[in-house]
Homo-oligomer: A and B are copies of this chain.
Amino acid sequence: MKNKAVLLLSCPDHSGLVAKISNFIHHIGGNITGLDEHVDINENVFFLRVAWDNIAGEISRNELIRLFTPLANSMDARWEIKLLSDKMRAAVYVSKFDHCIQELLWRYSNDELNIEIPLVISNHEMMRQLCENYQIPYYYKPRTAGNKIAEEQSELELLSDHKIDFIILARYMQVLTQRFVETYKERIINIHHSFLPAFMGGDPYKQAFSRGVKIIGATSHFVTEILDDGPIIEQDVIRISHRDSVRDLKRKGRDLERSVLLKAIQLYSEHRILLHNKKTIIFE
């Protein structure tokens, strides 16, 4: 595990990119364990995820970055290198619904998520007991119309103190300010309880009920300044019928929400997501 590295890269497409990168990995003593690539033909962009074992011995992430920089520069690439042993640190935001955080914490305790969760932040007290059962520090941060700016500032400091890499909105029912979103740009993952772009905004299950759809969905996406408009990571659906009330939709939807959010977190924590404009490239 210590020696597992991942490179995520995108750059203008031209011939020989895979050869150059696989040569690089070979020369630093790496054995490729997985390689996936994609070319956007319309825009002529090359996307790559490659994972390798440093079989020749441990190399630090800084050293890998230093070694790869000249090649990356020559390719005009946007890239990052990660070690799987450096678990990303997530702050979980939650409000009143427990199904998503319940699933996350159970998986976390089962060692199924390659992340650390140093803290949970909530605008309610309701999830405190659950978090304490799992020994996770819980911060009650109520929101009022008046305190939003000050409160977010205090939370940003808290996140910074805990060296948070990314944020999971596990059914957090407050809208974040643009400033907050920009601070964690492309690093806030939300779960929306509809099959986006259908039923954006509030009360999507009620919207779905009113429209009479035969299938409902859930969508995990990166948060941007525009509500429910960020790049989609994962979606799933479930069949419903005329027998299902709004309450039934909420119940059925809960199962979707937790599995879809979980999948998004797994993909992100294993460095399987590349962003391009407002879309994601997912290398499973």
Contact = CB atoms under 8 A, between A and B. Distances in A.
Nearest to A242: B281
Given A211-B232, A279-B212, A32 B55 contact: no
User: What interface size band does chain A fall in?
Assistant: 35 or more
B19 A23 contact: yes
A39 B33 contact: yes
Give the copy number: 4
A215 B212 contact: no
A242 B197 CA distance: 17
Interface of A: 14-19, 22-23, 25-26, 29-39, 41, 55, 98, 102, 106, 110, 112, 133, 195-199, 211-215, 217, 231-237, 241-243, 245, 251, 255, 259, 278-282
Given A19-B22, A35-B35, A242-B279, 16 more contacts: A16-B26, A16-B31, A18-B22, A18-B32, A32-B37, A35-B36, A35-B37, A36-B36, A197-B198, A197-B199, A211-B232, A212-B278, A214-B235, A215-B235, A215-B236, A242-B282
